[in-house]
Amino acid sequence: MERKYEIRCPIHGFIELNGWERDIINQPAFQRLRRIRQLGLTDYVYPGAMHTRFEHSLGVMHIATRMYDSIVARSAEVLKAELGYNDDGLRRDRMIVRLAALLHDVGHAPLSHAAEEIMPTKPDGTRYKHEDYTAAIIRQELREVIDSHPYNRTNYGITAETTAQLIEGTALLPQGLLFWQQVVASQLDADRMDYLLRDAYHTGVRYGVYDLERLLHSLCAFSVSDELVMGVSEDGWHAVESLILARYYMFTQVYYHKTRRAYDFHIAQALKSALAGQELPSPEAISEFLQYDDWWFLGALQREEAGEHGKRIKDRAHYRLLYETPEIPSDEQVNRFNEVCDHLQQVFGDKLHRDSAEKSWYNIGRQELWVKRFFDAPIPLREYSRPIRGMESLGQLRVYVAPEVRDHAQKVMESVGGVLW
């Protein structure tokens, strides 16, 4: 009889693992996630936000499995007819989805998203993202425990390459896995379903709460313009609406909190000072990359090896907000803001920092969320929901200055721009 293991989670109760998954979790590359905070230095604002990518990854696997099972329960015949599945195929791909969900964050750098500004550039000039490191870790560091594990060889035949491709969303995947990729990365994926509840719990806010159970029980697969999509049945559209609104509220109240974002800036600058080359190693040097985690960074702060910005973090002498635009500024407001900031930059130089919502990791997204109606053709959620129909991606702009020059900067800004808006 197959042995099962259980891990207690404050969000989901018990999370169940098999022996193969337990062996993967015990790998150093995964255990490193215990030393990567989920929300950087958000605990400087919300003291309870000390949770890590480790427990989040377990939660994402748990929710992804529930999503998979819910869709199969409601849409098995559709999956078999449209994608050619049989019961063995559904069983195998369920395992692949669990692995991809479990491993989706193994490539995060120290203090999570804040470090992405110092990832190196690719040959095409774009910057690497944590997903690139995740794929490299799966293909190199975790290949043996995936490809050669006896439980996998006997029961599934899953490869590290397929797992990495599912996270990357490559078109090389079989048609069935291309459909299930929506569970791993989409507007309605397991990642955000977990982090909203988990981050709200640890920060002590209620903005991230939504009706998870109703949402899961509404998931189904259906065709839209001859393409099989993941969506919800008509009686579950309010649950999807609540998820999107929860993400908006968490962004504006937690993720884009003015002080939290100031610390993201300091983290990136401190990391540059602590790293010899002022940037992280590329995915081609994945073993070197894995040496960097929050413990290393906090040690650099303690040893005063992270420069001026490291000292500001240690002393809590962060840059202060000088001014911010509305969440969705007009073109005139944006132009005026930039004009004034250009002048301030000439006066205060590197004592000034500009930030924007577009530079953070939030956007509304353009991918449609579909609702399957009882008697009519599916329609986009925005046609049901007035709040979703009216939502726009945030474009808020902020300017920060060092606390020691804030009063001077306020006077300069007023003399140059008067009342900005």
For each of the chain's 421 residues, which pLDDT tens digit applies?
678 999 999 999 999 999 999 999 999 999 999 999 999 999 999 999 999 999 999 999 999 999 999 999 999 999 999 999 999 999 999 999 999 999 999 999 999 999 999 999 999 999 999 999 999 999 999 999 999 999 999 999 999 999 999 999 888 899 999 999 999 999 899 999 999 999 999 999 999 999 999 999 999 999 998 899 999 999 999 999 999 999 999 999 999 999 999 999 999 999 999 998 889 999 999 999 999 999 999 999 999 999 999 999 999 999 999 999 999 899 999 999 999 999 999 999 999 999 998 755 455 555 789 999 988 899 999 888 888 888 878 899 999 999 999 999 999 988 886 555 4
In the structure encoding, which two tokens stand for residue 70, read together? 């819910």
Strands (E), 330-390: 352-356, 370-372, 379-380
Nearest of 257, 252, 263 to residue 207 by alpha carbon: 252
Q: How far is the C-alpha of 293 from the C-alpha of 34, rounded, in Å? A: 9
Ordered structural domains, the chain, with CATH? 4-317+372-382 (1.10.3210.10), 319-371+383-421 (3.30.70.1370)
Let me know: does 98 contact 16? Beta carbons within 8 Å. no
37 three-class SS: strand
400 three-class SS: strand
H-helix or E-strand containing 250?
A: helix 237-250
Q: How far is the C-alpha of 241 from the C-alpha of 299, rounded, in Å? A: 43
Q: How far is the C-alpha of 6 from the C-alpha of 28, rounded, in Å? A: 20
Let me know: does 119 contact 129? Beta carbons within 8 Å. yes
In the structure encoding, which two tokens stand for residue 294, read together? 């929050």
Full strand arrangement of the beta sheet holding 352-356: 320-324, 397-401, 352-356
The amino acid present at 213, given as its one-letter code, is: E
